[in-house]
Amino acid sequence: MNRRIIISKSKYLAGLQCLKYFWYRVNAPEEIPEPGFTARFIFNQGMLVGEYAKKLYPGGTDLGKIGDLKEQLVKTSELLSERKPLFEASCSSGGVYSRADILVPAETDRWDIIEVKSSTRLKEDYIHDVSFQKYCFDKAGVKIRKCYLANINNQYIRKGDINPGELFKKTDITAEVGELLVGIEDRIEEMLEAAARKSSPEIFIGKHCSEPYICPLKDKCWGFLPDNHIFNLYGSKNKAAELYNEGVLSIKDIPDGYNLNFKQKIQLECAKTDKPKIDKGEILKFINSLEYPLYFFDFETFSTAIPLYTGVKPYQRIPFQYSIHTLDAIDGQPGHYDFLAEGAEDPREELLLNLKKQIGETGSIIVYYESFEKGVLKELAETFPDYSQWIDSITARIVDLYKPFGNFHYHNSSQKGSASVKKVLPAITGLSYEGMEIADGMAASAYFLYICGNYDTNESLPAKEEVEKVRDSLIKYCGLDTGGMINILRALAKEAE
Ligand code: SF4
């Protein structure tokens, strides 16, 4: 075994996903792009969850807050004899290094590992994560009795202060960890061999580039693919991987007679002819079903692992912004209203009050991907029963502009196999989200929480000018979602002429 390379838990998990990624982690970390604003927000959420999990074990010592790595290793071995809970305890032995979120003394000379995760489900990579920890601690002479996963209980409802005992659910994963320990030394050996090479190993791209995590090297590894590449094939990653392995790089090169479904056949036809597919009859049916005045409507929501308000569950969607564009006739002058919450208080009732004033009593309410808006409205009706009748009445008026695209009544190769508004808008109208400060829903929620002081664990508020800049970007982003829908509808109407 090459002893010069120390394998940490995160490197081991990278190596399980892909040896090429592992090689870069070890040999050229500077070539791996830094995580963006949204990824850092998700990381910060995990840190916050970790802080609450520590409250499950009062009297524990937090080693993560002591000096550097070397000092932490020394301090961990000193504190093990005190037999008290340890947070971020670390160990290193024989070329591997790991930390445990929480170590709890068990029996006279053993320890339990508690791995804290901010998700609500058990995932296989969590078991690999803990099996690596157990392997390291065992190797360092710290006997592990049991392994647990403490993740978020999605049934918890916040009442006043967070109750960590109810926020987390603990699952015994000792048996599963034991299963994934089998073969761990061989896997580590294979990773070390890959890392010792002069250049990165040749690894084919495939599903593993996005599972279990989107690999940060994806742009680099996937850059050689043609514009409308085979992985844009609608709804079947397996079929795409099979075709890719047979040497098909582009959708237009799918061989005749290959088993494709209805939508994939349309994709192939559009790619081969370089023309959009337009089902005029279905598009006209959709357009004629609309009742004027039209309200183009979009919510922005955030959801946090730690509920921010009383009565809220982990990851419950909290709407904080909406945009409405109105239209009295297809070629009429659009009107516009919007709402963006101020401050860190629960924004929902104020949002509802405004929405009720701005949505009239008749006319279609056009959204893009109705299950989202309908789901948020349903949750609002449950929380604010005084509004439930009105919410039911507006829900019944919702029309989904996604449908003509999701059903492939209109399809254009430049959508790249997607019917999302982010792909449809540029494909059919030439407008795009490119270059916008905030260009997707995840970023919108992360930025909103940032200006409310809920982005990172130190909860510092950004300066006033920064807040104004972010609010401006949020308004522009949500406004393009609804203004863009007008352009999409007009373009569709034109195609159906
Ligand atoms: S993009 Fe795919 S092939 Fe490239 S390093 Fe990442 S996982 Fe490996």
Q: What is the pLDDT of residues 135-146, one digit of tens each?
A: 999 999 999 999
pLDDT at 2: 45
Q: CA 287 → CA 100, 283, 422, 484, 489, distances in Å?
A: 57, 6, 21, 16, 8
Name the phi and psi angles at 157, rounded to 5. -120, 125
pLDDT (tens digit per residue) in 70-86: 899 999 999 999 999 99
Mutate-to-test residue for ligand 1 from 31, 205, 210, 244, highest number of ligand atoms within 8 A of CB: 205
Pocket lining: 217 vs ligand 1, CB cutoff 6 Å: yes
**Residue 60, SS3 per DSSP:** coil
Sign of CA dihedral 419, 421, 424, 427: negative
pLDDT exceeds cutoff 90 at 195: yes
| 398 in Cβ contact with 371 (< 8 Å) | no
Closest atom of ligand 1 to 24 CA is: 5
Tell me the pLDDT band of 4, cut-offs 50, 70 and 90: confident
**Six-digit token string for 110:** 């053993």
Question: Nearest residue CA, atom 7 of ligand 1?
Answer: 209
| 64 in Cβ contact with 49 (< 8 Å) | no
Q: Which of 384, 347, 369 is nearest to 441 (CA)?
A: 369
pLDDT (tens digit per residue) in 220-253: 999 999 999 999 999 888 899 999 999 999 999 9
Category of 430 on φ-ψ map: left (φ > 0), alpha (ψ -120 to 50) or beta:
left
Task: Quote the pTM value.
Answer: 0.92
**Six-digit token string for 61:** 């010592």
Q: Which of 39, 10, 58, 25 is nearest to 456 (CA)?
A: 39
pLDDT-above-70 percentage for the chain: 99
pLDDT (tens digit per residue) in 435-470: 898 999 999 999 999 999 887 766 667 889 999 999
Question: Nearest residue CA, atom 5 of ligand 1?
Answer: 21
CA of 217 to the centre of ligand 1 (A): 6
Rounded distance, CA 422 to CA 349, Å? 29
pLDDT at 9: 96
**Residue 449, SS3 per DSSP:** helix
pLDDT at 462: 85
Average pLDDT over residues 108-128: 96
pLDDT exceeds cutoff 90 at 343: no
Q: Which of 414, 417, 419 is nearest to 430 (CA)?
A: 414
CA of 443 to the centre of ligand 1 (A): 24
Opening angle at CA 207, ends 203 and 212, nearest 5: 105
Closest atom of ligand 1 to 208 CA is: 7
Average pLDDT over residues 2-18: 89
Mutate-to-test residue for ligand 1 from 208, 209, 213, 225, highest number of ligand atoms within 8 A of CB: 209
pLDDT (tens digit per residue) in 375-422: 999 999 999 999 999 999 999 999 999 999 999 999 999 999 999 999
Q: Which of 3, 178, 7 is nearest to 91 (CA)?
A: 7
pLDDT (tens digit per residue) in 248-269: 999 999 999 999 999 999 999 9
pLDDT-above-90 percentage for the chain: 90
Pocket lining: 14 vs ligand 1, CB cutoff 6 Å: no
Question: Nearest residue CA, atom 1 of ligand 1?
Answer: 218
| 24 in Cβ contact with 200 (< 8 Å) | yes
pLDDT at 459: 60
Average pLDDT over residues 201-228: 94
Average pLDDT over residues 344-356: 96
Pocket lining: 21 vs ligand 1, CB cutoff 6 Å: yes
75 DSSP 8-state letter: H
The rounded mean pLDDT for the chain is 94
Helices (H), 208-333: 218-222, 237-245, 262-273, 280-288
Domains along the sequence of the chain with CATH: 9-195 (3.90.320), 281-495 (3.30.420.10)
Q: Which of 99, 82, 104, 157 is nearest to 133 (CA)?
A: 99
Pocket lining: 16 vs ligand 1, CB cutoff 6 Å: no
Category of 58 on φ-ψ map: left (φ > 0), alpha (ψ -120 to 50) or beta:
beta
Pocket lining: 209 vs ligand 1, CB cutoff 6 Å: yes
Rounded distance, CA 490 to CA 51, Å? 50
Mutate-to-test residue for ligand 1 from 13, 18, 23, 244, highest number of ligand atoms within 8 A of CB: 18
pLDDT exceeds cutoff 50 at 1: no
CA of 210 to the centre of ligand 1 (A): 8
Closest atom of ligand 1 to 19 CA is: 8
Pocket lining: 215 vs ligand 1, CB cutoff 6 Å: yes
Question: Residue 325: which residues within 8 A CB-CB, separation 6 or more?
Answer: 295, 296, 334, 335, 336, 479, 482, 483, 485, 486
Q: What is the 3-state secondary structure (H, E, C) of 117-185?
A: ECCCCCCHHHHHHHHHHHHHHHHCCCCEEEEEEEEECCCCCCCCCCCHHHHEEEEECHHHHHHHHCCHH
CA of 70 to the centre of ligand 1 (A): 32
Mutate-to-test residue for ligand 1 from 200, 215, 229, highest number of ligand atoms within 8 A of CB: 215
